[in-house]
């Protein structure tokens, strides 16, 4: 009983001290630790509040004070792609691929590309002699035969033979486009072969464009090697054959094996068809060959340069249309306005 007055005096003293303490000390938020988790802040009485006003009830779980998101709304802190303007930009130099931002490059070390065109001709002495032999063969044998052929065979028949040879070459183009990852071109070639075979008299008539099929694509095994990353190698001229690079010479061997005629016909028939195809193609380009021969001073260098540029362009085209050589990246341009 004697300790009650002492306790009452201590309580009065503490009350006086609390009322005369600085405002900063009164607004300090004491922190206590809950047993189940992190610290919980207990708000103190604000100096503007009337004396004796009830203090706010502390919340044990801070997450409980956060309002729940509406139904179907994204949780806070999650990036919504719809809130940003952006576009997919291709890292390959193909038609319709988009443009990278100014001063930036979107190419990756893994993005393949055909190297710069270089006229690599270390076998020039052999190639020049072989080219002279082939040119003499063309001037004295193939060209006279093509002129006689052109006088006897009507032009529409020559084009019909060309269409038939192109239709047979569909097997090579279908396989090459598939190996390059050009699946849209492969589908077009399959459609072209089926339509021309069924509605084009076995391929003598090019009926595919009437059905909405695109024009014939450029695809062969040599181009496929280039799309896969093989370099062209040295320039090469062989007797009785068109000019090559070393890569294209190997591809030509595969292309020949993919000709269905070699599967069923004897070697004599294959040679005869090849000769007819050469003369037919030569007769369709008599004026073109003559103009080239008359307009250039160094025919060997002109043919080499034209061939290397053509093959360089074909490989770049294959890379641009191949799914294996494309990389699409989303470029974020900023939040939508």
Pairwise pLDDT comparison (320 vs 2), residue with the higher score: 320
Say if residue 326's pLDDT is above 80.
no
Do 226 and 305 lie in one domain? The reply is: yes
Say if residue 25's pLDDT is above 50.
no
Residue 178 CA to residue 224 CA, distance in Å, equals: 9
User: Shortest CA distance to 243 belongs to which of 139, 138, 131?
Assistant: 131
In a domain, 36, yes or no: no
In a domain, 230, yes or no: yes
Section 210-218 average pLDDT: 86
In a domain, 29, yes or no: no
In a domain, 299, yes or no: yes
> DSSP character for 85?
E
Residue 124 CA to residue 264 CA, distance in Å, equals: 38
Do 286 and 164 lie in one domain? The reply is: yes
Say if residue 64's pLDDT is above 60.
no
| Phi and psi at residue 245, to the nearest 5° | -105, 170
Do 101 and 130 lie in one domain? The reply is: no
> Which residues neighbour 116 within 8 Å (Cβ) at sequence distance 6 or greater?
none
pLDDT tier at 122, thresholds 50, 70, 90: very high
Do 280 and 141 lie in one domain? The reply is: yes
**In this prediction, what percent of the chain has a pLDDT beyond 70?**
62
pLDDT tier at 46, thresholds 50, 70, 90: very low
- Digit-coded pLDDT (tens) for 67-112: 555 555 555 555 454 454 444 444 444 444 444 444 444 444 444 5
Section 282-306 average pLDDT: 90
Do 90 and 219 lie in one domain? The reply is: no
Residue 10 confidence (pLDDT): 55
Do 178 and 276 lie in one domain? The reply is: yes
In a domain, 254, yes or no: yes
In a domain, 57, yes or no: no
pLDDT tier at 150, thresholds 50, 70, 90: very high
Distances (CA, A) of 105 to 86, 93, 108, 316: 17, 12, 8, 19
> Which residues neighbour 322 within 8 Å (Cβ) at sequence distance 6 or greater?
180, 181, 182, 227
From 24-28, 112-116, 279-283, the region with the lowest mean pLDDT: 24-28
In a domain, 35, yes or no: no
Q: How many CA atoms lie within 13 A of 73 on its CB side?
A: 8
Do 94 and 137 lie in one domain? The reply is: no
* Three-state helix/strand/coil letters over 169-224: CHHHHHHHHHHHCCHHHHHHHHHHHHHHHHHCHHHCCCCHHHHCCCCCCCCCHHHH
Say if residue 184's pLDDT is above 70.
yes
Pairwise pLDDT comparison (331 vs 155), residue with the higher score: 155
Say if residue 40's pLDDT is above 60.
no
Do 93 and 223 lie in one domain? The reply is: no
Say if residue 57's pLDDT is above 70.
no
Residue 332 confidence (pLDDT): 43
In a domain, 227, yes or no: yes
pLDDT tier at 324, thresholds 50, 70, 90: confident
Residue 301 CA to residue 156 CA, distance in Å, equals: 34
Cα-Cα-Cα-Cα torsion 4, 6, 7, 11, nearest 10 degrees, comes to: 140
Do 186 and 282 lie in one domain? The reply is: yes
The boundaries of the domain holding residue 232 are: 124-321
Residue 128 confidence (pLDDT): 96
Residue 49 CA to residue 46 CA, distance in Å, equals: 5
Residue 314 confidence (pLDDT): 95
Residue 125 confidence (pLDDT): 96
| Phi and psi at residue 215, to the nearest 5° | -65, 160
pLDDT tier at 328, thresholds 50, 70, 90: very low
60: its two tokens? 């044990």
- The per-residue pLDDT of the chain, averaged, comes to 76
Say if residue 153's pLDDT is above 70.
yes
Do 155 and 214 lie in one domain? The reply is: yes
- Digit-coded pLDDT (tens) for 249-288: 999 999 999 999 889 888 888 889 999 999 999 999 988 8
Residue 256 confidence (pLDDT): 93
Do 231 and 90 lie in one domain? The reply is: no
Residue 85 confidence (pLDDT): 46
Do 130 and 211 lie in one domain? The reply is: yes
Domain count, the chain: 2
Regarding pTM above 0.85, the answer is: no
């Amino acid at each position: 009983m004697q300790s009650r007055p002492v306790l009452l005096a201590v309580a009065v003293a503490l009350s006086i001290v609390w009322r005369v303490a600085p405002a900063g000390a009164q607004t300090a938020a004491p922190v206590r630790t809950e047993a189940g988790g992190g610290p919980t802040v207990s708000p103190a009485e604000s100096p503007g509040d009337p004396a004796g006003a009830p203090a706010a009830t502390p919340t044990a779980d801070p997450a409980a004070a956060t309002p729940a998101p509406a139904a179907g709304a994204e949780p806070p802190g999650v990036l919504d792609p719809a809130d940003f303007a952006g576009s997919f930009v291709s890292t390959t130099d193909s038609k319709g691929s988009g443009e990278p931002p100014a001063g930036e490059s979107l190419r990756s070390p893994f993005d393949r590309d055909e190297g710069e065109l270089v006229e690599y001709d270390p076998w020039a002495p052999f190639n020049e002699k072989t080219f002279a032999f082939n040119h003499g063969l063309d001037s004295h044998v193939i060209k006279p035969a093509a002129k006689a052929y052109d006088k006897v065979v009507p032009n529409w028949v020559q084009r019909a033979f060309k269409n038939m040879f192109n239709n047979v070459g569909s097997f090579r183009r279908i396989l090459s486009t598939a190996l390059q990852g050009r699946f849209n071109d492969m589908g077009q070639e399959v459609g072209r072969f089926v339509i021309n075979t069924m509605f084009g008299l076995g391929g003598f008539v090019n009926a595919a464009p009437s059905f909405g099929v695109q024009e014939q694509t450029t695809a062969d095994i040599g181009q496929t090697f280039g799309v896969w990353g093989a370099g062209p190698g040295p320039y090469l001229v062989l007797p009785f054959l068109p000019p090559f690079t070393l890569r294209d010479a190997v591809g030509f061997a595969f292309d020949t094996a993919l000709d269905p005629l070699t599967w069923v016909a004897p070697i004599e028939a294959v040679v005869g068809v090849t000769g007819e195809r050469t003369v037919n193609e030569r007769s369709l380009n008599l004026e073109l060959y003559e103009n080239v021969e008359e307009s250039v001073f160094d025919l060997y260098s002109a043919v080499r340069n034209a061939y290397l540029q053509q093959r360089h362009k074909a490989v770049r085209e294959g890379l641009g249309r191949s799914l294996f050589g494309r990389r699409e990246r989303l470029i974020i341009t900023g939040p939508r306005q």
